Structures are given as C-alpha cells and as structure tokens.
Structure 1
Amino acid sequence: MKMFRNALFAAALVMGLASAAQAADLVRKVDSFDLLADQSGSMMMQAPDLKMSKAAAAKQVLAAVNEAIPNLGYKASMHTIAPAGQVVAYGDWDRSAMNDGIASLETDGVIFGRMTPMGDGFAANSGDYAVMARPTAIVLASDGANNTGIDPVAEAAAIYQAQPGVCFHVISFADTAEGQAVLDKIAALNTCSVSVKGADLLADQNALNQFVADVFYTTGAAPQEEALVLHGVNFAFDSYALDAKAQGILDEAAVVLKEKNVHVTLEGWTDSIGTDAYNKKLSQNRANAVKAYLVEQGVPASKLTAVGMGKSFKYDNATEEGRYLNRRVEILFN
C-alpha cells in the first residue's frame, strides 16, 4: 500500500511539473478581485485633458476592465472609498452584476467640503478582504488625494502585513504631484503591483487589454506554478506538530523530492479562527515543520522554501471538517 501511495505521489509530482511546461488556455493569476473606486470630492472635479470628471473617467475604465476580464471562475466584489462602502457583495464574479455596480457609481457629486479619507477607506473595507480567496487583486481607481484620517500608504502596508496574498493594483487619475506620489508609494509596497494611468487605458484598448492580462491572467505558454495539496498533512487546532500519518506521507514525499531536480515552496495555511497576525505566524511554523522534517529525511534544504500564508478559505471554515482541511501544507512547484 505504501508503495502504491508513493507511486501516486510521484505521478502527481510529475504531472505538476509537466503542467508547468504545457501551452494551455488562459490561466488565472488571482482567485478573487475587488474593484475599489474612489468617490471623493476631488474625483468629482474635471479631469485634465478629459471632457468629464475624474470619477466619470474612472467609471468608464472600470466598466471596460470588467468587460475585458476573461471568465475563469473568479470570485469578486466591489467597494468604494470616501465614503467607504460595499457596492457588490463578495461571491462568484458575475459580469452583469459587476456592471450594475459600476453603473451606480457617482460621477458629479459634491466637490467642496467633501473630505478624502483614503486610508480610512482601506481600513473600513479590509475586513471584507479577509474572507476573499487568495491570491486577491484589489484594483484601485483613484487620484491619490488624501486630506484626513489614516495615512493610506501605511494602511495599505498594514493590509499586506496582516493579509498575505493580497495585492493592490493602481489605476491613476492623479492630477497633482502629491496625489501621484501617494499612488506610486502604494504601488511600490509590493512587487506584485501593476500601476497605470487611467487616461492611457481610456485612449488605448491595447493598453487596457495589457493591464487586464497583467493583473488577472496569463497564458499557458509560460511556465506556471502548480500546487499539490499534501492530503493527510494536516494539523490539530492551534498546533504545528506533525502526527504519524503526516510523517508517513512526508517520508514518501522525501523519496520523490530527493530524486527530482526541482525546487519547491512549502505553503503553510491555517483555518479562519484567530487573528490575522497570529495565524500568519502559525502558518509559518507549519511550513517550517514540514521543511525541517523533509530535511531530516535527506531532502537538501536548498530545494525547499517555507512560506506561511495565513488564513485559508479554500475549504469551508463553517464546518469542523473544512477547518481541518484548511490547516494544511501545500507544495508549490517552482
């Protein structure tokens, strides 16, 4: 039986490596996304070089982006900042429902006396981001103006720290150096970010298509990472100890990994109970435990990278079984 399971693991590993070289159809880069529209007073002002308000331009661009996204089974939502709020509830992405949400955005609202708490908007919406499937793209359409409340750059950095797998992408409608600087700093927080000018996307369909591709999908022509769930390598609640069943599976994994010339990332995950910060540390400990055990079995440490991913929503956290399945480690072929 052990030999049979080992053959299955070897086959899964080979299939994972082979899939990285196949030229397949479009492959999504993210599992979920949120369209985040700035509705502040400054966005209601006329856009330089555009015969409309910045909010109207952003509305057009978001609608065009929504139309260009391929139907690859995303989850999605839509929020606003200044004021902060939910426009489209999180769930299976529906192009028509998202279009309705975009159509509801304000474009000619009050300008003067309407403050712009961008950072507060990030903070207000961050709880909704916590339940989104990872990786998550947050597509921010804004002019970067911020004149009250929390520093938006610091709040975006805090979201990155607390919620691994989230990435901010910027569509800029900035008409001041200060506003553009804020957006540039947000984009610079993480190498995953894509930053573009909204006016460019309005003027050039190719530029818009490229932005959508950069954020949402890739083609099978390039090598793709493939994750293999180590079924049975799961953990008790609030624990990173490997039980006998997990060790047996990892013994088999070690045999295969020693024979293959590959580098893998070990991703540790937790269920949704507890704080983001605590679960980030716990997930890292779980990944570290698997790496340490594989190294003990003779797998070179140079072949292994351990990464704690934090909370998982791959399985249903409302059930005991789902929470157990979320407390896992996956192998990602690099």
Structure 2
Amino acid sequence: MSHQLPDVQATGPEVTVGLSRVGVTGVDKLVKIARADKRPIVLMAEFEVYVDLPSWRKGIDMSRNMEVIDEILEEATREAAFRVEDVCGDAAERLLEKHDYTSRAQVSMEAEFVRREQTPATDRETQHTVDIVASATATEEGTREEIGARVVGMTVCPCSQGMSVARAKQKLEDLDVPEETITEFLDEIPQPGHSQRGHATLTVEAAGDPDVDLNDVIDVARDAMSARIYNMAKRPDEDHMTFESHSNAKFVEDCVRSMAEGVLERFDHLPDDAVITMAQSNDESIHQHNAHAERVVEMATLREEVNGD
C-alpha cells in the first residue's frame, strides 16, 4: 500500500511574510562556451538559483528547482552556448515557467576563465586568470542578463609620487642642474610612488541581446588601472610593468572613471537603460586598510556625464 507524501512546502506559513529570494547556492556544473572554428571552452561554474516566495506559501519546491537547474545546465554542457549569460537567462526563464506562484527568478554563476596572452616586452606566451560573473533575472516583463568580470592589475599612488617628484626636483636644484634639464628629466623618468595590487570589477546588465563580448569587458577592466600584470615575466617585462604603472599613476577613483571612459568607447551600442557596474579595490601597500570606489549607473546617464552634456 503506497502512502501519499504530504507537500508541506505548499501549506501556509505561521508567519505570513513574503520573501524576496529563496533558493539554492553552491551548485557546481560544467558549462561549454562555443567559439567559432575552435574547440569550446569548458568552465567549472558555480551557480546560485533563486525565486521569490509569496506570503501565503510556506516554502519553495527545492527539488523542482534542482530538477530545472540540472536539466538546463546539463543541456548547456552537451550543447555549447555562445554566452554564459544566456545559460543563466535560459535557466531563469524555465524557473519562472515551472513555478506558478513566483513572479521573479534569478540565476547567477561564477567561473574561473583562463586566457592566453603575450608578455609585454619579451613576447612570451603566458596565461592569466579572470573571474567571470554572469546572471539573469526573469519576470513577466522579460529577462535581463548581466555579464562581467573581476580582474587583477597594478596601480601607483599619485600622491606619494608627487612627494617623490618634489624631493627629486629639490635635489637636482641643489646640484645646480638647469631648470630646463630638470623638467625634461622628470617628464621622461617617472618618480617612485607606492604601488598596489588592484582588483577591478566591471559588469553590464541589459534586456534582450546586448551583444557584449566578454573579452572586451576583461580588456576594459584591465586597462583602467595603472598597468596590466602578467603571470610570467622576465626582467624586461618587469621593467616594462614598473615603468608603465609609474607613468600612469591613478587613485582608486581614477580607475573607476577610466573604466567609464572605456565602457563608452567599447560599448557605445548599448541601450540607454543598460546598467553598468564599475568597482575598484586596491590592496594598499603602506597602510593596513584598503581603498575602494564604485559606480552603478545607467548608460544614458554615463554618456551625459562623460560627454559633459
């Protein structure tokens, strides 16, 4: 004799308060990303899956959530997708379809992505790692997808560099070096400043298909700092990075503003309601604290601010 198992989740809660997000985290899946005329990239991605919960329902169907996410991600593993954010979007839309009590479904993922590149001075092949972040939110109004990356680079503090310039100028004057020579020397040879490892985050969220290339996102974020850094570096590469970063000293605020310029230059096709998230965190080398700056802004506002409209 079989027994009907009770659906406790569908009963009413003792406290009738709705919940913004209920779901599962730490879901690991392999995802294939297709590339034209190349083998697909395989990522080990960690997913989070959420739906909203009305006040009249005790809980979500956790097993159904896992069933849906397994189904869509297993398909994504077999059939290579062209964009990781589309994988999130497909899953969010399926969640919305399968839950008649929810009005909002969210799927997000993170994965480590490895790119090959050449060292800046010795032109040797090396690799660098990037954290991909992608997400999607599906509602009855439609689906918005987000793609982005967290990258590491190098910054140099303009304030400490300015003090070094003043010290060098005073010493050269004491040595009776002509003013014209002092100016030329200081223009050509950047003076010391304390350097920091910087962490830049850039994401783009938009409805429909915004046509954002992940590689472009990575490049804009890396180039917003004082200099790129490289996993493998010979002495000429180290000299290149040191000189370049000290020639391009930036505060944490400057990095976010440089990112904003890069977004407008590389993603000018984005619609006005696309949401850009830009953040920079610097691991200070002469302080125990760190520095942080960020901006979340719609593309229309960003265009107005950068262009001075």
TM-score (norm 2): 0.22
Q: Choose 1 or 2 for highest CA Rg.
A: 2
Which structure is higher in RCO with an 8 Å CA cutoff and minimum separation 6? 1
TM-score (norm 1): 0.21
More strand by share: 2
More helix by share: 1
